[in-house]
Amino acid sequence: MSSAELTLSGVTKRFGGLVAVDDVSFAVPVGRVHGLIGPNGAGKSTAIGLVSGFLRPDSGSIEFGSSDLTRLSPSAIARLGISRTFQQASPLGGLSVFENVLVGMHTHYHAGLASVLVRTPGARREASEIVRSVRELLALFGLEPYAEADARNLTFGQLRFLEIARAIAMRPRILMLDEPAAGLNDVERGQLAALIRRFRDEGVGMLLVDHDVPFVFALCDSMTVMNFGSVIASGDPDTVHRNPAVREAYLGAAAAAEAPQWH
C-alpha cells in the first residue's frame, strides 16, 4: 500500500472579514478513513473546496505525496487521483445512469482521437474494458437495473449512490465525501457504510464529512474536529470522543457535562 498522504498544513481561507478556515492542519493517508466533523459553519465544506481546487487558500499548503495542490485547477487535482462528491447530489442532465458513471472514466481513456474514430483494435479493447468497469460499478451500487434510465428519475438515495459511483469511477487514491449520508434511510446508510469500508480496504483514502456523528465515529480511523474555522481536536475516535471541547462545541458546556454518551 502506498504511504502517500493528503496533507493540509496551516491552511487559512478568508471571505472578506470572515475567516472560514483558520490555520488548519490534518492528514488523510491512503487506505484510511479520516473524519472531519463539527457544527454547522465550522468550515468543513470550505476545507473540501480548498483541497479539490474550487477554492484557493490565502495561506498554508495542501500536498498529496510529492505534489503541491495549492494552486492547481480542479481538473489537474482530479488527474492526480483526488475526487469528491457534493452535498447536493446532481446528475448530469439528460444523460442515463450508465452515461453519468461513464463520464467519471474520462481521465482513464488513453486511446487517441484518431484511434477512436477508426475503431482500432486497441481502442475497441479499451472501450470494452471501460464498459465492463461501469457495469461493475453500477452493480456494486445497486444501480444496474436503472442503467439506461434518465438519471434525473432516480430516487434521492439512488442519486447519492450515483454521485459516489461517478467519483469512484475516476479510480481515486483519495475520495472526499461531503455529507454522503444526508437524507438516506437506515438501510441506505448501512449500504453506504459497507461501501466505504470496502473502498478503504481496497486502498482508497477517504475524507468523510457528515453531520451524522455516530455514522462517522463508526467508520473512521482518525478524526479532526473543527469549530468556527479552527481545529479543536484530532486523533482516534476514542480520543476525540473524550475531548470536552468537542462535546461543548456540539452541545454547549452545560449539556456536555451531563451527556457521557453524547454520540
pLDDT more than 70, % of the chain: 86
Domains of the chain, residue spans: 5-90+172-257, 92-153
How far are the Cα atoms of 30, 48, 247 from residue 62, in angstroms, in the given order? 15, 11, 29
- Residue 100: HSE in the Cβ half-sphere, 13 Å Cα cutoff: 32
The region of weakest confidence among 97-101, 123-127, 129-133, 178-182 is 123-127
Cα-Cα-Cα-Cα dihedral sign, residues 72, 179, 92, 79 = positive
Residue 122 has a pLDDT of 61
Question: 226: left (phi > 0), else alpha (psi -120 to 50), else beta?
Answer: beta
User: Are 256 and 247 within 8 A, CB to CB?
Assistant: yes
Is residue 250 predicted with pLDDT exceeding 90?
no
Which residue type, as a one-letter code, is found at position 73?
S
Question: Model-level pTM?
Answer: 0.86
187-203 mean pLDDT: 96
- pLDDT value at residue 35: 97
Mean pLDDT of all residues in the chain? 88
User: Residue 6 is placed in which grid cell?
Assistant: 493528503
**What's the Cα-to-Cα distance from 59 to each of 14, 15, 65, 141, 235, rounded to whole Å?**
10, 13, 19, 39, 24
Cell (9 digits) for 77 = 487535482
pLDDT at position 3: 58
Give burial (CB, 10 Å; 0-12/13-18/19+) of 61.
middle
pLDDT at 119: 55
Mean pLDDT calculated for residue range 198-208:
97
Return d(Cα 136, Cα 140) in angstroms, integer.
6
What is residue 108's predicted lDDT score, i.e. its pLDDT? 59
Q: Could you report the per-residue pLDDT of 26-64, keeping only the tens digit for each?
A: 999 999 999 999 998 999 999 999 999 999 999 999 999
What's the half-sphere exposure (Cβ side, CA atoms, 13 Å) at 183? 13
d(CA 104, CA 138): 12
Q: What pLDDT, on a 0 to 100 scale, did the predictor assign at position 135?
A: 94
φ/ψ (deg, to 5) at 128: -65, -40
Residue 258, pLDDT score: 45
The CATH fold of domain 5-90+172-257:
Rossmann fold (3.40.50)
pLDDT of residue 121: 63
85-127 pLDDT tens trace: 998 878 887 889 999 998 887 665 555 444 444 455 666 676 7
